[in-house]
Amino acid sequence: MQTGLYVALSSQMALERRLATLADNVANAGTVGFRAGGVSFSDVLTGLSDEAVSFVSTGNNFYSTQAGGLQETGNPFDFALQGEAWFAVETPAGPMMTRDGRFTMLDTGELVTHEGHPVLDAGGAPLVLDPLAGPPDAGADGMLLQNGQQVGAIGLFSYIPGPNATRYGNSGFLPGNLPQPVVDQPDVGVAQGFLENSNVNPVNEMMRLIQVQRTFEQVTALMRDSDASMKNAIKAIGS
142 and 169, same domain (yes or no): yes
91 and 106, same domain (yes or no): yes
Could you list the residue range(s) of the whole structural domain that residue 55 is in? 3-65+200-238
Give the number of domains in the chain.
2
9 and 88, same domain (yes or no): no
- 131-147: per-residue pLDDT in tens? 999 999 999 999 999 99
How far apart (Å, rounded) are the C-alpha atoms in residues 211 and 105? 45
176 and 76, same domain (yes or no): yes
- 186-238: per-residue pLDDT in tens? 889 999 999 999 999 999 999 988 888 888 777 777 667 666 666 666 666 76
141 and 168, same domain (yes or no): yes
Q: What is the pTM of this model?
A: 0.81
176 and 81, same domain (yes or no): yes
